[in-house]
Structures are given as structure tokens and as C-alpha cells.
A and B are shown apart, each in its own frame.
Chain A
Amino acid sequence: MIENLQKVFESRVRLGLMSILMVNDSVDFNTLKENLGVTDGNLASHLIALEKKEMITVTKEFVGRKPKTTYQATKIGKQLFKQHLAALEKLINGN
């Protein structure tokens, strides 16, 4: 069961990011930043890492003239996150 703990979610920021994207379909950068309380650069690097691992997708669109970037969890991302949660719960209740 330890192998179900996903290495990709090891950092607190990534864990928080995935938690937010599990319960919200689509979230923009500023909302993520506000909820997590991290700097732009820090958040951006974690977002890129999660995108590379295909845990999240990035959508860019224009609202009027302003570009707006939103983030969504992928199917695989959600699945792995659920596994991660189950593994955590097992660690607590199991032994």
C-alpha cells in the first residue's frame, strides 16, 4: 500500500493544488494563489510539474481582451489522488 502513495503529490503545495482541483471543476491562477498562500513563482513551478506529469490540464482563453488561464485536474490525476488518499487512510487505520 505504501507504493500507492504518489511521489508526485509529496509537496504540500501540490497536495493543496490537487485538493482544490478535486472539488472545483476549473480554477484560475489567482484563486489558487489566494487559497494556497504561495508566491507566483512557487505556484507556477508546481503547476508546470503537475502538468508535465499529466495530473492537470491548462486552458488559456480570452475574457474580453484579457488572457485568462484556468487549471483542471485530469482523469488520471483525480484517480491517482484518490489512490493517494486511500493509501493515507490505510496508513492511519491499517497498522
Chain B
Amino acid sequence: MTDRDIKKESLDQLSQIHNMMEQSSRFISLSGLSGVIAGLTALAGSFFAFINIKQAATIDNPSMVCLNMHTINQDVILNLMAAGAVMLVVAISFGILLTFKKAKKKNQNIWSSTSKRLLINLFIPLATGGIFTLILIKHQLFGLVAPVTLLFYGLALLNASKYTLHDIRYLGIFEIVLGLISSYFIGYGLLFWAAGFGVLHIVYGAVMYFKYDRA
């Protein structure tokens, strides 16, 4: 073997090792399109919430974006929570469906040790945030709902990023930053929420789609 052959062979081996380490420890079949759909769902949901709150707004509370949630009645809160639940179901269903399709194409098993690890590490911070949010609503601390959901979602993504496409880490960091800013500007929750769960998802999903899915 010549020097060149040895080098080439060594490079081959190293890249094979790298691929195997990546493939066996990360779940890489996450679909970019499902991110776009989740974003669109979030925007639609935010719009629905906006209309609901606007209708409920009284003369005491004329401002639409700067909500003073204390004046809002129980029905509206329930409406919003129901809308949130519907959005969650739609976004997750599409996420699973599209990821399933992509995994099939890539010949990766959707229910594997890597996907299980991804889900567990995603859901521990996410469920904590979810429960915390419900408690906030119970205590009528509505102004904190948007910042808290953004913060915990961002932290969940950051935690999950070790077990899937590395890019998701940046989405997590953006959500955290947005969550922190939104916790300062209480009352504008819906706007931040639409930006974080709507716009960021669409941008991220589109980037992922063009980076990984189309090839």
C-alpha cells in the first residue's frame, strides 16, 4: 500500500466510526416539516386566543396585546386551555406521522433506544413546565404562563439536543432567550408565545427541511 492508500483507508475508517457513533446515539429522523406544521398550528391558536380575549376585553381593559388577565372570566380561560390542548394534539400527531415517514425512508426504527432516550429527556423538563403552568393558572398568575412555557420548552429542547439533531440546541436557546425577555414584559405574553412557538418553529422547521429532508 502506498502512503496515499493508507491515508485514504484511515479516513474511511474514521468516518465510519463517526457515523456509527452518531447513528447509534442520536435519533436523526425528526421531520423538519412537522416543525413548520407545529409553528402554523401555534400561530392559528394564538390568533384564536387573540380573538377570544379581544371579545372578552371590556372598557376597563381596552388594550388587546397588553392584557390584564385578571379581568378575564373563567369561560375565556377554559376556552384558551381547550385551544391549547387541541393545538398540542395536532402538532404532536403531525410530528409523529411525519417522523414515522422519514424514519421509514431512512430505515431507522421509530421506537428504538435512541428515540426512547430522546423522549424521556425531552419530557422530564417539559412535563415539569406543564405542571408548573397549570399551577400558575390555578393561582391566577396568567402573566407568567407564556414566559414559563417558553422557558421550560427551551430547556427541554436543550436537554433533548444531546440525543437528536444537534441543531435543536439552537432552537432551545432562542426559546429560552425569548422566555426571559417575555418574563420582563408581562402582559405581552401572547405576542411572545406566537413568536416562540409559531415563528421560531416555522423558521427552524424550514431550515431543517432544506438541510436534511430534501436531500
- A and B found bound together: yes
Interface residues of chain A, those whose CB is within 8 Å of chain B, are 12, 15-16, 19-20, 22-24, 27-28, 31, 34-36, 85, 88-89, 91-92, 95
Chain A's closest residue to B11 (CB) is: A92
Q: Across the interface, do A27 and B113 meet the contact criterion of CB distance under 8 Å? A: yes
Interface of A is mostly: helix
A23 touches B21 (CB 8 A): yes
How many of chain B's residues touch chain A, expressed as a range?
10 to 19
Is B3 in contact with A23, judged by CB distance below 8 angstroms?
Answer: no
CA distance in complex: A69, B11 (Å): 33
B10 contact from A12, A31, A92, Cβ within 8 A: A92
Which are the 7 A-B pairs with shortest beta-carbon distances? A19-B20, A20-B24, A91-B10, A23-B25, A88-B10, A19-B17, A23-B21
Is B6 in the interface zone, CB < 8 Å from A?
A: yes
Q: Which residues of B contact A16 (CB under 8 A)?
A: 16-17, 20
For chain B residues 2-17, which have a beta carbon within 8 Å of chain A?
3, 6-7, 10-11, 13-14, 16-17
Determine if B21 and A15 form an interchain contact, defined as CB atoms under 8 angstroms apart. Answer: no
When C-beta atoms are compared, the residue in chain B nearest to A26 turns out to be: B113
